[in-house]
Amino acid sequence: MPFILCHSPKGGSGTSFVAAHLAMALAEAGHATTAIDFTRQDSLKLYFGLTPAQQLPDLDLPSDQGLTIAGVSLRQGHRVSKAADFARALAEGELPLANDGFTIADVSADDLALRDLLLPQAALTVVPITPTALGLATLTQVGSGTPLIDLDYTAFVISRLDETRRFARNAHTFLRELLGSKLVGAIHEDECANEATAMAQMLPRYATASVALADMRALARTVAEVCGQTSDEEEAA
């Protein structure tokens, strides 16, 4: 089943937010889903209503020692990814990156070595880009010389879109024209997301009418379609 790599060339692009809520939305749609935090910042768990002091189970622990919230199995992969034998274990399939559903990996912008190790495992790489001058400038760092439109198994998401700002609107238009079908979604700026995290609550429970939440559900449907997967509800229909 699909392994989805979430990585942006620029820090602060909302990659952890996208990874966490993509996992929640896929689980909500009936898909078995695992989310792995490969970042040193260890922030993925905050979107699941956990506090900074609470720890996620390590990736290499047995499945019966896992933690599941909102239908998502949560794992911490940063420690394991820094082990000397990580590349070998990855190549030999010893790590649970492939399971009966989706696996979503959150990778830091500056951890290019890990991104490159995980890329061959990925059915799709989701790249959040902010509609800012700095966000657009980092597009050149995504494909290592390959035109963005020609990148295989890569999808882009506009993150933190504020359509009241002229530059953001123009950037959105530019990215639609540049990326075409590779632009698979746009996540609007939503103060509810900050409020929910600050209060150690999950966004789907804190603000059911959140515009960012609706955007993430739409993104999850698109990602599932791109990966050739349907939800339990769609199969039943």
User: Which is nearest to 18 in space by CA: 183, 100, 98, 128?
Assistant: 128
Reduced 3-state DSSP string for 89-136:
HHHCCCCCCCCCCEEEEECCCCCHHHHHHHHHHCCEEEEEECCCHHHH
pLDDT by residue for the chain (237 residues), tens only, comes to 799 999 999 999 999 999 999 999 999 999 999 999 999 999 999 999 999 999 999 998 887 888 999 999 999 999 999 998 999 888 888 777 766 789 999 999 999 999 999 999 899 999 999 999 999 999 988 876 677 877 889 999 999 999 999 999 999 999 999 999 999 999 999 999 999 999 999 999 999 999 999 999 999 999 999 988 765 554 444
Rounded to 5°, the CA angle 173-47-14 comes to 30
Per-domain boundaries in the chain: 3-122+189-236
Q: What is the pLDDT of residue 99?
A: 65
Whether domain 3-122+189-236 has CATH 3.40.50.300: the reply is yes
Please check whether residue 146 is in contact with residue 140, taking contact to mean a CB–CB distance below 8 angstroms. Answer: no
Rg for the chain (alpha carbons), in Å? 17
Q: What is the pLDDT of residue 237?
A: 42
Amino acid at 139: L
At 154, which helix (H) or strand (E)?
Answer: strand 154-161
For the record, the structure tokens of 109 come out as 């912008």
Reported pTM:
0.93
